[in-house]
Every structure is written in structure tokens, then in C-alpha cells.
């Protein structure tokens, strides 16, 4: 979708197939995060937390009503 | 007022399942099921894309017109289905199931005779992307052995680690608390306790330690009950295509034997000399994956077959498959016995 009203605000070439907002957010406003920083951030959460749900049980060996 | 020119459709995720005496509709989105008579099942699985409501009534010789009106309206009122003048945009549920995990679930048994390296087992299961791990401790063993082995899973992709410990180990609250604090994916069940209860040992956390007065033995059998039925998309699709208990499951018994499930007699290798990754590639090991409930006597006539989890051994008698551990439900009488 072409958003003609907004094209004058930033000087970028607009793709015919990508909506303006999407292009603006992903390409113009894109914030580069150094990979090393990203890795530290991922390590902080890696293996943490209990994801207590799964679509089935392993076995129904106990049954407390 | 129902318009006979409209079509009645069940929502795509509401799936009718027929049993010998009774049927049901599984609502995969809501995780519920609705019991229905077999006659209604036959009406619901007629070709509603081709026939409008008037046409469906005609297929049954207009004998059930009033019942069809009432049931359809009931199903619409309870969000199982809807009326439409144009059914063509609505599609049937794709029945394909696949999983990215080479092993979905595993049970590892340890007693005082166990000599195998538990760490190596855990490492192998992690590499196979196992999601559910159950560790059953039967005897008075040194807990530090298990705790050390669990350390290799600190950064693993295993989702849930269930640790079953006997009450006679007399582990203090402090020890149990330390385990669940140190290993965030571990849940502990203390079996053979004086009473069944749940203890919240860590303040401000939803993590609990479960105590049960039930016993766990080498030959303990699985429990079958309506409260243990699972109605979900994944469970349904897995059960339609595979044996939902044994599909991509590998178990290690207290001797280190590699099996489909602990209670099964067939041994495919031993953890001391074989790699799990190699054993699970064997065709004879994978054979049980494909023995779904639709192929098993009794289960194939049960309306609960796509929500019931069973790890039972399956034997072939003549051309028919039978489960060795079966439930108390009799689908031919529609009754629990």
C-alpha cells in the first residue's frame, strides 16, 4: 500500500510491494544491536524459567484426585 | 428459525469422534469434549459442504428433522458450529502431525543396582531434543549422583524434568528446595508420603513440591481416568497418526536397558554399549510409534481414543493388536467397570 501523504517526511525510496510503515520501521528506524550484546542478553534467559506446560504427560503413573 | 437452505458446519477445530456405543465432539481450541449420541455423529459427518440442512434431513429420510433442528441449534448456541449460506471458504482440519524433536519424551529409572552413567544418558537425550524427562528413583541412592547429573541439563532444551523420589529417602525440605531453585525446570514428586499434598517451599514462587501417598514400584501400572484425558490440537493430531504414548519415546530401565517404555520386555540395547541416537533409528524400535489406537482392538472402538495417553506394551495376536495394560472403560457398554 502506498502512503503518499507520509513519503515527504523521510527521504527514502519506497518499494511498491512493501507498505511505507513496514519499510520505515524495519529499515530506517532499525536499531543495530551488536551480536555480542545480543548473546549476553540471550544467555541471561537461556535455560531459565519453568515452562510447565506441554501438550501431553510423559506417563500417568500417579493420579491424585 | 432454522433456514433449510443454509448449511450447518462444525467449527474446523471441533472434531466428531465415533465410539461403539457413544460419540463425542472434541473441541481442540477450548480443550473440552461434548458427548453425543452415535446418531448425531452420523448426521454430523455427512457431507455438509454439498448438502444444505434441508438436504441433510433428506439424506436421513426426514425421520430426524426435529432432532436435527434442535441439535444444530444446541451446537450453535454452545459454539461448536454455525450456519452459513456459503460453506465453500471453510476448510477441513489438516490431519498431518510432525515434530521437530527426535525424542519427545523419556523415562529414566535408577535404583541401587544401577551402574550406568546417568550424565551420559541426559547428555544424549538433550542432543536428541527431548522435551519431557521423567527420572524415577526407586531405592535409597545417593542424591548427589542425580544432582551432579542434572547439572548437564542446566542449559538444555528439555522443557520439563519430573523427578520422582521416594519418601523413605527422607530428603529434607532444604534439599528439595535447593533442587528446585538450582534446576528451574525440575518438578519434584515425593511418592509413598504419609499424605498427598502440595507444598510451596519457595516463597513468592509458584513452584511446588508434590507429595503423594501412592507407591511407585518397578511394575507400577499406569492410571486411566477421564481427568487425565488431554484435549488439544497436538495430542489429537499425534493420536490420529501415531501412538501418542510411545511416539518418539525412549526409556532407560534401572539396568541401563534401552526400551520403548519401562514396563515393556523388549530390550533394544544397553546404554553402556549403545547410543540412544542409533537405537531409535532401528525399524523394530520405531514399530511401536505407528501402532495408534485406531489399530488396536478395543481402543479403536473407544470414543476417547484421541485423548487418552497409554504407554502399554502392544502384542499382536493373529492379525490384531492388543494392549497388555488396558483401562477399565468398556466402549461396548459405554461404562467404566
Asked whether residue B283 falls in the same domain as residue B318, the answer is no
Q: Residue A63: its chain B contacts at CB < 8 A?
A: 214, 223, 225, 227-228
CB B230 to CB A62 under 8 A? Answer: no
Q: Which residues of A touch B133 (CB under 8 A)?
A: 58
* Residue B213 and residue B158 share a domain: yes
User: Do B132 and B14 fall within a single domain?
Assistant: no
| Residues of chain B neighbouring A54 (CB-CB closer than 8 A) | 131-132, 159-160
B93 within domain boundaries = no
| B143-157, B286-300, B307-321: segment of lowest average pLDDT | B143-157
Among A36-50, B102-116, B152-166, B208-222, which stretch is predicted with the lowest mean pLDDT? A36-50
| pLDDT at residue A33 is higher than 90 | no
Nearest to B126 by CA among B276, B272, B235, B256: B276
pLDDT class of B10 with cuts at 50, 70, 90: very high
Same domain, B311 and B322: yes
Given an 8 Å threshold on Cβ–Cβ distance, is B309 in contact with A63? no
Cβ contact, residue pair B214, A64, below 8 Å: yes
Least confident of B15-29, B77-91, B176-190: B176-190
- Nearest chain B residue to A65 by CA distance is B227
Q: Are residues B41 and B129 in the same domain?
A: no
Domain contains B98: no
Which residue is listed with cell 547428555?
B123
* Closest approach of B47 to chain A, Cα-based (Å): 31
- Please give the residue of chain A at the shortest CA–CA distance from B227: A65
Whether B120 contacts chain A with CB within 8 A: no
pLDDT band for B193, please (50, 70, 90 cuts). Answer: very high
- Mind listing the pLDDT tens digit for each residue in B74-112? 999 999 999 999 999 998 899 999 999 999 999 999 999
* Residue given cell 465415533 in the structure block: B18
Interface contact B245-A59, CB threshold 8 A: yes
**What is the pLDDT at residue A2?**
47
CATH code where residue B76 lies: 3.90.930
| B127 and B73 housed in the same domain | no
**B92 is a domain residue:** no
Residue among A46, A50, A60 whose CB faces B155 most closely: A46
Give the total number of structural domains in chain B: 3
d(CA B237, CA B232): 9
* Region of B256 on the Ramachandran plot (φ > 0 left; ψ -120 to 50 alpha; else beta): left
DSSP string, B189-240: EEES-SS-EEE--STT----EEEES----TTPPPP--GGG----HHHHHHHH
Q: β-pairing, B320-323 with B209-212?
A: unpaired
Query: Which residue range forms the structural domain that includes residue B144?
Result: 105-289
pLDDT at A38: 67
At A17, list the grid cell.
510491494
Q: What's residue A29's pLDDT?
A: 73
B232 touching A, CB under 8 A? yes
Write down the pLDDT at residue B95: 94
Q: Is A39 helix (H, G, I), strand (E, B) or coil?
A: helix
Residue B199 belongs to some domain of the structure: yes
Pairing mode, strands B32-36 and B160-166: unpaired
B178 to chain A, any CB pair closer than 8 A? The answer is no
B328: Cβ–Cβ under 8 A, 6 or more apart, which residues? B224, B336, B337
Residues B184 and B229 in one domain: yes
Domain check: are B209 and B62 in the same one?
no
In a domain, B99, yes or no: no
Output the domain CATH number for residue B285.
Answer: 3.20.20.70
Nearest to B148 by CA among B117, B171, B125: B117
Grid cell of A57 as nine digits: 504427560
pTM of the predicted model, to two decimals?
A: 0.85
Residue at B163 is within a domain:
yes
User: What residue in B sits closest to A45 (Cα-Cα)?
Assistant: B155
Kindly determine whether residue B159 and residue A54, on different chains, have CB atoms separated by under 8 Å: yes
| d(C-alpha B269, C-alpha B275), whole Å | 8
Residues in B closer than 8 angstroms to A47, CB to CB, are 154-156, 184-185
- Look at residue B90 and tell me if it is in a domain: no
How close is the nearest chain A Cα to the Cα of B56, in Å? 36
Could you tell me if B226 and B263 lie in one domain?
yes
What is the rounded distance in angstroms from the CA atom of residue B142 to the CA atom of residue B169?
Answer: 9
Please report which confidence band the pLDDT of residue A15 belongs to, taking 50, 70 and 90 as the band edges.
Answer: low
A25–chain B nearest CA distance, Å: 32
Computed from CA positions of residues B19, B24, B28, B32, in that sequence, does the dihedral angle turn out positive or negative? negative
- Out of A52, A59, A62, the one facing B191 most closely (by C-beta) is A62
Grid coordinates belonging to A36: 555480542
| Residue B75 domain-assigned (yes or no) | yes
How many beta carbons lie within 10 A of that of residue B196, not counting itself?
A: 14
Is B123 in the same domain as B238? yes
Amino acid at each position: 500500500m502506498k502512503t503518499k501523504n507520509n513519503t515527504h517526511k523521510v527521504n527514502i525510496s519506497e518499494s511498491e510491494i512493501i507498505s511505507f510503515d513496514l519499510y520505515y520501521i524495519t529499515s530506517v528506524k532499525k536499531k543495530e544491536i551488536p551480536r555480542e550484546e545480543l548473546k549476553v542478553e540471550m544467555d541471561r534467559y537461556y535455560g531459565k524459567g519453568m515452562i510447565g506446560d506441554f501438550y501431553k504427560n510423559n506417563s500417568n503413573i500417579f493420579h491424585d484426585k | 428459525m432454522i433456514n433449510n437452505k443454509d448449511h450447518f458446519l462444525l467449527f474446523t477445530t471441533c472434531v466428531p469422534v465415533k465410539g461403539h456405543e457413544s460419540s463425542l465432539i472434541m473441541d481442540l481450541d477450548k480443550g473440552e469434549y461434548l458427548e453425543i449420541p452415535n446418531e448425531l455423529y452420523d448426521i454430523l459427518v455427512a457431507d455438509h459442504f454439498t448438502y444444505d440442512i434441508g438436504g441433510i434431513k433428506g439424506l436421513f429420510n426426514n425421520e430426524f428433522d426435529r432432532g436435527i433442528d434442535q441439535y444444530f441449534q444446541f451446537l450453535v448456541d454452545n459454539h461448536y458450529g454455525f450456519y452459513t449460506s456459503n460453506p465453500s471458504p471453510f476448510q477441513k482440519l489438516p490431519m498431518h502431525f510432525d515434530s521437530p524433536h527426535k525424542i519427545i519424551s523419556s523415562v529414566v529409572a535408577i535404583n541401587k543396582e544401577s551402574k550406568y552413567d546417568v550424565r551420559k544418558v541426559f547428555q544424549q537425550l538433550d542432543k536428541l531434543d527431548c522435551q519431557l524427562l521423567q527420572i524415577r528413583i526407586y531405592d535409597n541412592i545417593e542424591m548427589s549422583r542425580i544432582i551432579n547429573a542434572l547439572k548437564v541439563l542446566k542449559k538444555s532444551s528439555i522443557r520439563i524434568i519430573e523427578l520422582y523420589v521416594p519418601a523413605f529417602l527422607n530428603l529434607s525440605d532444604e534439599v528439595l528446595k535447593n533442587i528446585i531453585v538450582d534446576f528451574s525446570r525440575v518438578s519434584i514428586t515425593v511418592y509413598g508420603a504419609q499424605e498427598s499434598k502440595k507444598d510451596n517451599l519457595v516463597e513468592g514462587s509458584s513452584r511446588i513440591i508434590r507429595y503423594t501417598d501412592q507407591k511407585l514400584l518397578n511394575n507400577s501400572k499406569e492410571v486411566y481416568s477421564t481427568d487425565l484425558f488431554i484435549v488439544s490440537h497436538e495430542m489429537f493430531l499425534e493420536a490420529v497418526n501415531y501412538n501418542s504414548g510411545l511416539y518418539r519415546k525412549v526409556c532407560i530401565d534401572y539396568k541401563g536397558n534401552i526400551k520403548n517404555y519401562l514396563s515393556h520386555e523388549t530390550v533394544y540395547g544397553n546404554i553402556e554399549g549403545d547410543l540412544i541416537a542409533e537405537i531409535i533409528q532401528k525399524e523394530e524400535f520405531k514399530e511401536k510409534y505407528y501402532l495408534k489406537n485406531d489399530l488396536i482392538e478395543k481402543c479403536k472402538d473407544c470414543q476417547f481414543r484421541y485423548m487418552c495417553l497409554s504407554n502399554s506394551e502392544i502384542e499382536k495376536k493373529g492379525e490384531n493388536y492388543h494392549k497388555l495394560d488396558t483401562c477399565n472403560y468398556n466402549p461396548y457398554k459405554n461404562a467404566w467397570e
